[in-house]
């Protein structure tokens, strides 16, 4: 079998991360070798994003940079930009091959043909690009894609055009993959997809049934969810997050706005009352569940009064952190035609106010854990600083934890890798970037 080197650049969401891991496995299956950082690869794969116009520009920059430094490298662009702007991507002289999302399953065959590798013919393209992921030695967490596509067509979003209609992986395949990963030593599986709340629509199932099946029929130690709409956070899911549960107490909420009229303009299927209900129910169930939320600042037609209303609603509600995005026009989406565009400086001002609120709330949440023991920390790494050794990982609610090992030896820090342990928290520091890290001592 022929050999070739490759590099993969992934842009965008967790679904793209999953797809890139699957691409890597397929390349390795036909003799591909991951190139080193200082080597010009034979093949460069860009798994693109198109959620904003800036993401489109970045994709072209990535390919142009590769060709500038390595003209002989064969470049292949796939992903969401390749799906919605196939012809425009082909017009870039530095792009050698374009494979849209709906042709990702042909990537292995396409690369094999390029490098003179014979492969048996394949059948028709599957509805979902899905398969067994490679697991590196020492890996603690893995993604499993359970669903692809979206039926919602929110006015700001291009993704339904890039990923197609919602379709789900069959429950049996998901269970088999989760158990395979558990057998390989993976401690935590993250269920991912374009819109996981739509899981099972085609075969009379639902996300709650899948979670229950994973908890009952696999041995994976920890299970985590990706983004859900407020209306998709049901009591049935909350009840599976009880004490000692393997379903981690962590929500990423695709909120976008807490104001009903703005939500209607976005074509979201919930309103302020449902946002209030969902966040209060989470807090009542367990006030230490980490709740991160996506919010768009300065959406077209959003007035200053509505921004203030949104701030006031958020100030009254329990949550942990906001991921704030100033609205960015995306060509081809209905939002660009909504009257009342908010000036870019005003978008940035509103985003800054939301971010300032988020910083206060996040710091308050972290402070709850001072002078307490945090259990169920999955330690994923270790490092040395100032003569001390630290085990680093994530608590069940996904707060980052850095715990000094009592013996202050490298051997003890290394021994915590891929283990679930406890730490007594004595403080916190704002790192990395805008996140907080709980600091303490291993117990």
Q: Is 128 inside a domain boundary? A: no
- Answer yes or no: is pLDDT of 92 > 90: yes
Q: Would you state the structure tokens that stand for residue 63, as one six-digit string?
A: 């390919």
CB 193 within 8 A of CB 226: yes
Q: Specify the pLDDT at position 180.
A: 94
Separation of alpha carbons 269 and 152, rounded Å? 8
- Answer yes or no: is pLDDT of 123 > 70: no
Q: Specify the pLDDT at position 137.
A: 52
What are the strands, taking DSSP E only, across 42-199?
43-48, 74-79, 97-100, 141-148, 167-168, 188-193
346 and 388 in a single domain? The answer is: no
- Answer yes or no: is pLDDT of 349 > 60: yes
CB 63 within 8 A of CB 41: no
Question: What is the tens place of the pLDDT at every residue in 32-62?
Answer: 999 887 789 999 999 999 988 889 999 999 9
251 and 328 in a single domain? The answer is: yes
- Answer yes or no: is pLDDT of 433 > 70: no
Beta-carbon contacts of residue 149 (< 8 Å; ≥ 6 apart)? 160, 163, 164, 165, 166, 167, 194, 195
Q: What are the Cα distances from residue 57, in Å, to 52, 64, 299, 344, 368?
A: 9, 11, 22, 19, 42
Boundaries of domain holding 419: 373-442
352 and 380 in a single domain? The answer is: no
Q: Is 125 inside a domain boundary? A: no
276 and 425 in a single domain? The answer is: no
Tally the domains of the chain.
Answer: 3
Q: Specify the pLDDT at position 431.
A: 78
Q: Specify the pLDDT at position 96.
A: 96
257 and 331 in a single domain? The answer is: yes
Q: Specify the pLDDT at position 118.
A: 85
Q: Would you state the structure tokens that stand for residue 390, as one six-digit string?
A: 């630290």
32 and 159 in a single domain? The answer is: no
Q: Specify the pLDDT at position 139.
A: 76
199 and 342 in a single domain? The answer is: yes
- Between 429 and 294, the more confident residue is 294
Q: Specify the pLDDT at position 2.
A: 63
Q: What is the mean pLDDT of residues 147-163?
A: 93
* Sign of the C-alpha dihedral computed for residues 166, 170, 171 and 173 taken in this order: negative
Question: What is the tens place of the pLDDT at every residue in 237-273?
Answer: 999 999 999 999 999 999 999 999 999 999 999 999 9
Q: Specify the pLDDT at position 239.
A: 97
- Answer yes or no: is pLDDT of 120 > 60: yes
184 and 310 in a single domain? The answer is: yes
Q: What is the mean pLDDT of residues 158-179?
A: 94
Separation of alpha carbons 1 and 117, rounded Å? 6
249 and 397 in a single domain? The answer is: no
Identify the domain boundary among 341, 367, 393. 367
């Amino acid at each position: 079998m022929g050999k070739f080197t490759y590099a993969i650049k992934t842009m965008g969401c967790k679904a793209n991360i999953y797809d890139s891991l699957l691409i890597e496995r397929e390349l390795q299956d036909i003799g591909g070798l991951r190139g080193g950082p200082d080597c010009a690869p034979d093949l460069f794969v860009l798994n693109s994003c198109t959620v904003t116009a800036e993401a489109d520009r970045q994709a072209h920059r990535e390919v142009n940079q590769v060709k500038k430094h390595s003209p002989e490298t064969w470049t292949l662009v796939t992903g969401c930009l390749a799906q919605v702007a196939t012809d425009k991507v082909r017009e870039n002289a530095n792009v050698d091959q374009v494979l849209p999302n709906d042709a990702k399953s042909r990537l292995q065959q396409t690369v094999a043909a390029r490098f003179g590798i014979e492969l048996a013919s394949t059948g028709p393209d599957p509805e979902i690009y899905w398969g067994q992921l490679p697991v590196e030695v020492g890996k603690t967490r893995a993604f499993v894609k359970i669903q692809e596509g979206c039926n919602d067509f929110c006015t700001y979003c291009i993704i339904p055009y890039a990923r197609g209609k919602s379709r789900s992986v069959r429950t049996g395949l998901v269970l088999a993959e989760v158990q395979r990963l558990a057998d390989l030593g993976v401690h935590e599986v993250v269920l991912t997809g374009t819109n996981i709340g739509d899981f099972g629509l085609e075969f009379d199932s639902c996300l709650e049934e899948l979670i229950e099946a994973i908890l009952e029929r696999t041995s994976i130690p920890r299970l985590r969810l990706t983004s859900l709409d407020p209306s998709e956070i049901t009591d049935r899911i909350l009840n599976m997050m009880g004490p000692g549960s393997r379903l981690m107490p962590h929500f990423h909420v695709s909120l976008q706005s807490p104001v009903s009229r703005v939500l209607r303009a976005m074509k979201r299927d919930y309103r302020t009352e449902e946002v209030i209900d969902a966040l209060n129910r989470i807090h009542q169930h367990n006030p230490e569940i980490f709740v991160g939320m996506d919010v768009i600042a300065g959406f077209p037609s959003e007035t200053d009064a509505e921004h203030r209303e949104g701030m006031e609603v958020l100030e009254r509600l329990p949550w942990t952190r906001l991921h704030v995005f100033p609205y960015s026009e995306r060509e081809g989406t209905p939002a660009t035609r909504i009257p009342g565009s908010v000036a870019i400086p005003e978008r940035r001002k509103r985003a800054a106010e939301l971010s300032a609120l988020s910083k206060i709330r996040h710091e308050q949440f972290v402070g709850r854990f001072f002078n307490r023991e945090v259990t169920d920390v999955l330690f994923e790494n270790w490092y040395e600083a100032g003569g001390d050794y630290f085990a680093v990982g994530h608590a069940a609610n996904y707060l980052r934890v850095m715990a000094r090992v009592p013996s202050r030896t490298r051997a003890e820090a290394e021994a915590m890798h891929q283990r679930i342990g406890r730490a007594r928290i004595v403080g916190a520091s704002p790192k990395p970037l805008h996140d907080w890290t709980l600091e303490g001592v291993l117990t």
